[in-house]
Chain A
Amino acid sequence: MAISIAESLHIGLSDITTRKVRSIATIFGIILGVISILVVLAIINGMNASTLTWMEQRGGTSKVDVQRNWNYDFSKGGEANLSLAEVEQIRKMIPEAVAFNSQVSLYSHNELKYRGLSYYSTVSGVLPDYLQVENWGVSEGRFITDLDVHESSNVIVLGSSAARDLIGTNDVVGKKISLGNNVLEVIGILDEKSWDNKQSGSFGGNMLEYMNQQSFIPISTAINRFDNTMKVSSLQVTAQSPNQALTLQKKLDQILLNLKQGREIFRVSSAQEGIMQMQANARIFSMVFVLISAISLLVAGIVIMNIMLASVKERTREIGVRIAVGARRIDIFIQFMIQTVLITTLGGVLGIGLGLLILDNISAYLEMEMIVDFRIMFSSVLVSVVVGLVFGIMPALRAGNLDPVDALRED
Chain B
Amino acid sequence: MEIIRTEALIKDYELGKVKVRALDGIDISINSGEFVAIMGPSGSGKSTLMHIIGCLDSPTAGEYYLDSVLVSKMSKSALAGVRNSKIGFVFQSFNLLPHLNILKNVELPMMYGGLSASKRKVRAQEILEGVGLADRLKHKPGELSGGERQRVAISRAIANNPSILLADEPTGNLDSQAGGDILEIFDRLHKEGNTIIMVTHDPIVAERAQRIIRIKDGLIDNGDLDS
Interface of A toward B, CB cutoff 8 Å: 1-3, 7, 14-15, 18, 317-318, 320-331, 404-405, 408
Contact, CB under 8 Å: B108 / A1 = no
- 24 residue pairs of the A-B complex, CB under 8 angstroms, read A1-B81, A1-B112, A3-B112, A3-B114, A7-B111, A14-B99, A14-B100, A18-B99, A322-B97, A324-B54, A324-B83, A325-B84, A325-B89, A325-B109, A325-B112, A325-B156, A326-B83, A326-B112, A327-B112, A328-B80, A329-B76, A331-B80, A408-B56, A408-B91
Instruction: Using A1-B112, A3-B112, A405-B56 as known contacts, say yes or no to A326 and B97 having CB atoms under 8 A apart.
Output: no
Contact, CB under 8 Å: B111 / A3 = yes
* Complexed CA–CA distance, A284 and B156 (Å): 60
Contact, CB under 8 Å: A1 / B113 = yes
Contact, CB under 8 Å: B51 / A405 = yes
Q: What is the predominant secondary structure among interface residues of chain A facing chain B?
A: helix
* Complexed CA–CA distance, A326 and B157 (Å): 11
Contact among B51, B96, B109 with A326 in the assembled complex (CB-CB below 8 Å): B109
| Nearest-CB residue, chain B, relative to A326 | B84
Closest 5 pairs (CB-CB, A-B) = A326-B84, A1-B114, A328-B80, A326-B112, A325-B109
Chain B residues lying within 8 Å of A321, measured Cβ to Cβ, are: 95-97, 108
Chain B residues lying within 8 Å of A2, measured Cβ to Cβ, are: 114
Contact, CB under 8 Å: A324 / B99 = no
Contact, CB under 8 Å: B77 / A326 = no
CB distance from A316 to the nearest CB of B (A): 12
Chain A residues lying within 8 Å of B112, measured Cβ to Cβ, are: 1, 3, 322, 325-328, 331
Chain B residues lying within 8 Å of A323, measured Cβ to Cβ, are: 56, 80, 83
* Complexed CA–CA distance, A326 and B88 (Å): 10
CB distance from A335 to the nearest CB of B (A): 11
CB distance from B19 to the nearest CB of A (A): 18
* Complexed CA–CA distance, A324 and B111 (Å): 13
Chain B residues lying within 8 Å of A329, measured Cβ to Cβ, are: 76-77, 80
Contact, CB under 8 Å: B109 / A404 = no
Chain B residues lying within 8 Å of A324, measured Cβ to Cβ, are: 54, 56, 83, 89, 95
| Nearest-CB residue, chain B, relative to A2 | B114
0/1 per residue, B78-117, Cβ < 8 Å to A?
Answer: 0011011100010100011101100000001101111000
Chain B residues lying within 8 Å of A404, measured Cβ to Cβ, are: 56-57
Instruction: Using A18-B99, A329-B77 as known contacts, say yes or no to A322 and B108 having CB atoms under 8 A apart.
Output: yes
| Nearest-CB residue, chain B, relative to A401 | B76
